[in-house]
Amino acid sequence: MDEKNTQAYEDSQIQVLKGLEAVRLRPGMYIGSTSSKGLHHLIYEIVDNSIDEALAGFCKQINVILNENGSVTVEDDGRGVPAGIHPDMGLPTLEVIFTVLHAGGKFGGGGYRIAGGLHGVGASVVNALSKRMEVRNFRDGHEYSIAFEFGNVVEPFKVVGPTDKHGLTVTFFPDDKIFETVEFDKEIIRTRLREQAFLNAGVCLTLLDKRAGAESAEPEVFCYEGGIKSFVEYINSKKAAELLHNDVIYFNGSKGTSFAEIAMQYNDTYNETILSFANNMHTVDGGTHEVGFKTALTKVFNDYAKKYNILKGDEKLTGEDVREGLTAIISVKLEDAQFESQTKAKLGNSDIRVLVENIVSEKLEIYLEENPATAKVILEKALQAARAREAAKKARELTRRKGLLESAALPSKLADCNERRVEFTELYMVEGDSAGGTAKDGRDSQFQAVLPLRGKILNVEKSRLDKIYASSQITPIILALGTGIGDEFDITKLRYGKIIIMADADVDGEHIKTLLLTFFFRHMRPLIENGHVYAAMPPLYKITKGKQERYAFSDEERDKYIQELGGNVTVSRYKGLGEMTKDQLWETTMDPARRVLKRITITDALEAEAMFTILMGDKVEPRREFIQENAKYVTDIDV
Ligand code: 1YM
C-alpha cells in the first residue's frame, strides 16, 4: 500500500473500532439486553442474514450448530459475500460486513432487508459481542477466511483455496464478560428456527446440538412447503383440539412492494390464537395488519349472516364472537416498516391495514360462498359465543346492580391490608378456610391481605364468560383484584402488587394452583406477563433436634439438615398448610425475609397456550397421552 492508502486504511479502521466500541459499551441498546434473551438474539441476527439471502432466491438451506466448545455455527448455501475490496471503506467487503455498524442491506444492490431481528443491527454487533468470530466465505470457486476477537481482526482476510461450495459460514463465541449467561437453550432456538421456517415457505433450517449431553446426534429439520398454512396446522395440532373444518383457509395479496398473507382455521375451544408478523418479526403487540384482519373478519361474517338470515332480530356478531376458537397467522412483508409501542413490537404502517383488510374482505367472502358447510359451522360457533356474551352481560349487570362489582364493595371473605400503595401490597390467595384463618392470624396486616378460597374453583378452560360471571368462587377473586376481566381488564386498577397463590404441597394443592393459573392466563394474562403472580412455597418437612428447628423445602434439603444436625432428629412431614401454627406459617411461607416465592412467567406463549388447552380442556385423550408420556419425569407423588 502507498502512503495515502495506508492513511485511508487506518482512518477507516479507527472509524470501525469506534463503532464497535459503542456496541460493547452499551450492548443493551443494540440487542435489547445482556440476559439469556440477548444472547439468543446473537443467533437470530446471523440467521436473519441467511434468511435474507434465501428470500432473495439464492439460498435453500441454513444450518445452526451448537458446538461442544460453547460456540455457535451458522452456515448457508447462498452466494457467499462479494470477495473484493469495498470501494468506500478500502477494506475487504467481508471485513466491512462484520465490523461496520449497519453494513449490508443496500450496498449489495436492490431489494430491502426483510428479515429483521428485534433491532436488525446485523453481523457487526454479534462480532463486537463475541470473544472470537470465524468467518468462511465460499464464492466463485474460492474459499476465503477472516477471524476476529472482540470485533477486531486477528486473522486478516485471505484466500484459503479453491472450492466448489458456495455460501457463508459464521462461527462465534459469545463474550462471557458481556452476557450474564453464555449457555444456549436449545428449546428457545428450536422454537425460533421452526417459526422462521413456517414464515419462509420452502427455506430449510436445521439445528444440531453437538454439546455434551445432547440427546441426538442427528440435526432437527424445519422445512415447510406449506408455510404459514403449516404454521396454523401445527398450532392446532399441538392444542389437540377438535377442528371445525379440515382445510386451513389461506389468502394472499400484494400492493406495490408490500405483500400480505393470512392463514386461518377454527377449532372447538373458546380461545383465539392470532399471531402476526411483519418482515418475519413477531409483532407481539399487533398493529395495523392485525387491525385490518380483525375488521374484515367481523364485517364479512356479519354480512354473510345477514344475507342468509342467520341472525335474529337485532343480533350482531362482535369481533370476539367471530374469533372464538380461531387460530390465525398474519404475515406481512414491506419496505420501511414502522414500529410503535414500548417494545417496538407493534406495526404502525396504515397502508398495510388497508391491504390486509381488502384481501380478507374480498377473498373470505368468496371462500364462504364457495364453502357453505364451513361457513355454517363457523357461524354456529360465533352465534353461540354471541348468546353466551349476552348472558354474561346480564349476569355482570345483575352482580353490578347488587353492588357486587363496584370497587367499593369487596368480597366478605377478604381480609384486606392497611397499605394503600399498590406496589407494597400482597394478596395471599389461600386454599381452604382453615388455612385461610391461620394466614389471617399470622400475616402482617399492614401490607398483606388474605383471601381464602373454598374448594376447587371453576375450570375456565371449559366455560364461557357467562358461567364465569355466575361463579361464586371466581367473582370474589375478580372483586379483590379490582382489574375486571377480558375486554374490561384494566391493570391500572390492580389492588395488589403481588398476588401469591398459597396451596398445599400435594395433588389437590397443585390442582387448585393450576385452576387459578388457567383463570389468570385466560382472563387476566397481563398479570402474569407483568410479573405479579407468584406461588408460595410452604415447607415439606420440619426437622427438630432439641431446641433446634429447620424447615426443608425439598428431600435434598431435608437430608442436608439431618446431616448438619448430626442425626437423631425428628422429621415431621407437613401434610398441609392447616397443620402449621400461625407463627410457623409466618416464619416459613409469609415473612418476606425468610419465605421462598416462585414467580410465574410465560417463556413460550404458544407452548403455554397448548399446555392449558391439553391439560384443562374438555378432551380426555390428549391429556391421557400427555400424562403417559410425561409420567416418567415424576419422581415423588404426594397423596
Ligand atoms: C451465516 C450468515 O450472512 N449470508 C449472506 C450474506 C450476504 C449475502 C449472501 C449477499 C448479499 C448480497 C449480494 C446483496 C451479505 N452480503 C452483504 C453485502 N450468512 C450470511 N449471504 N451477495 C451476497 O445483498 O446484494 C451483506 S450481507 F454487503 F455484501 F452485500
Q: Does the pLDDT of residue 109 top 70, yes or no?
A: no
| Residue 144 parent element (H or E) | strand 142-149
Pocket test for ligand 1, best of 76, 81, 88 (most atoms within 8 A of CB): 81
Question: In the 3-class helix/strand/coil scheme, how is 83-117 assigned residue by residue?
Answer: CCEECCCCEEHHHHHHHCCCCCHHHHCCCCCCCCC
Q: Does the pLDDT of residue 153 top 80, yes or no?
A: yes
Q: Show which of 388, 421, 455 is a domain's final residue.
A: 388
397 in any annotated domain: no
pLDDT value of residue 344? 78
pLDDT value of residue 102? 65
487 and 612 both lie in a single domain? yes
475 in any annotated domain: yes
Q: What is the pLDDT of residues 452-479, one digit of tens each?
A: 998 889 999 999 988 998 898 999 999 9
3-state secondary structure of 209: strand
Q: Return d(Cα 391, Cα 393) in angstroms, integer.
A: 5
Active-site option among 272, 508, 510, 529: 508
- Per the prediction, the chain carries an average pLDDT of 90
Interval between CA 49 and ligand 1 midpoint (Å) = 7
Interval between CA 291 and ligand 1 midpoint (Å) = 34
Q: What is the pLDDT of residues 12-34, one digit of tens each?
A: 777 676 778 999 999 998 898 99
40 and 108 both lie in a single domain? yes
**Residue 414 is part of which domain span?**
406-538+584-633
3-state secondary structure of 573: strand
469 and 363 both lie in a single domain? no
pLDDT value of residue 470? 87
CA angle 523, 527, 529 (to 5 degrees): 105
Supply the CATH number for residue 210's domain. Answer: 3.30.565.10
For ligand 1, atom 10: residue with the closest CA: 81
Average pLDDT rounded to a whole number, residues 134-161: 97
Pocket test for ligand 1, best of 45, 47, 49 (most atoms within 8 A of CB): 49
Evaluate whether 193 touches 51 at the Cβ level (below 8 Å). no
518 and 625 both lie in a single domain? yes
pLDDT value of residue 7? 74
Interval between CA 64 and ligand 1 midpoint (Å) = 17
Taking the CA of residue 169 as reference, the ligand 1 atom at the shortest distance is 1
Q: Return d(Cα 379, Cα 369) in angstroms, integer.
A: 13
Mean pLDDT is lowest, of 20-34, 130-144, 187-201, 296-310, for 20-34
Supply the CATH number for residue 324's domain. Answer: 3.30.230.10
69 and 182 both lie in a single domain? yes
463 in any annotated domain: yes
Q: Does the pLDDT of residue 1 top 90, yes or no?
A: no
394 in any annotated domain: no
Residues found in the chain? 639
Mean pLDDT is lowest, of 20-29, 106-115, 350-359, 490-499, for 106-115
Q: Does the pLDDT of residue 579 top 80, yes or no?
A: yes
pLDDT value of residue 14? 72
Q: What is the DSSP code string of 267-329?
A: BSSS--EEEEEETTEE-TT-BHHHHHHHHHHHHHHHHHHHHTT-S-TT----HHHHHTTEEEE
Evaluate whether 31 touches 46 at the Cβ level (below 8 Å). no
For ligand 1, atom 7: residue with the closest CA: 81
Sheet with 448-453, side-by-side order of all strands? 448-453, 426-431, 498-502, 533-536, 597-599
Q: Show which of 194, 222, 250 is a domain's final residue.
A: 222
Q: Is 559 a catalytic residue?
A: no
Active-site option among 195, 431, 466, 609: 431
266 and 295 both lie in a single domain? yes
Q: Is 508 a catalytic residue?
A: yes
280 and 353 both lie in a single domain? yes
Q: What is the pLDDT of residues 513-571, one digit of tens each?
A: 999 999 999 999 999 999 999 999 999 999 999 999 899 988 999 999 999 998 899 99
| Residue 173 parent element (H or E) | strand 167-174
Q: What is the pLDDT of residues 556-574, one digit of tens each?
A: 999 999 999 988 999 988 8
353 in any annotated domain: yes
Average pLDDT rounded to a whole number, residues 320-337: 96
Task: Specify the number of domains making up the chain.
Answer: 4
3-state secondary structure of 199: helix
120 and 181 both lie in a single domain? yes
Active-site option among 362, 365, 444, 506: 506
Interval between CA 210 and ligand 1 midpoint (Å) = 27
Taking the CA of residue 123 as reference, the ligand 1 atom at the shortest distance is 3
Evaluate whether 182 touches 132 at the Cβ level (below 8 Å). no
Contact residues of ligand 1, CB 6 A cut-off: 46, 49-50, 53, 74, 76, 78-79, 81-82, 93, 97, 104, 107-109, 168, 170
Burial class from Cβ neighbours inside 10 Å (0-12, 13-18, 19+) for residue 122 reads buried
Q: Show which of 355, 388, 421 is a domain's final residue.
A: 388
153 and 246 both lie in a single domain? no
Taking the CA of residue 110 as reference, the ligand 1 atom at the shortest distance is 25
Q: Return d(Cα 601, Cα 603) in angstroms, integer.
A: 6
Q: What is the pLDDT of residues 387-416, one digit of tens each?
A: 999 998 888 777 666 655 554 578 989 999
Residue 337 φ then ψ, to 5°: -60, 135
Interval between CA 39 and ligand 1 midpoint (Å) = 23
356 and 464 both lie in a single domain? no
More confident of the two residues 437 and 341: 437
99 in any annotated domain: yes
333 in any annotated domain: yes
Supply the CATH number for residue 493's domain. Answer: 3.40.50.670
615 and 523 both lie in a single domain? yes
Mean pLDDT is lowest, of 346-360, 404-418, 585-599, for 404-418
232 and 296 both lie in a single domain? yes
- Which amino acid is located at 71 in the chain? S
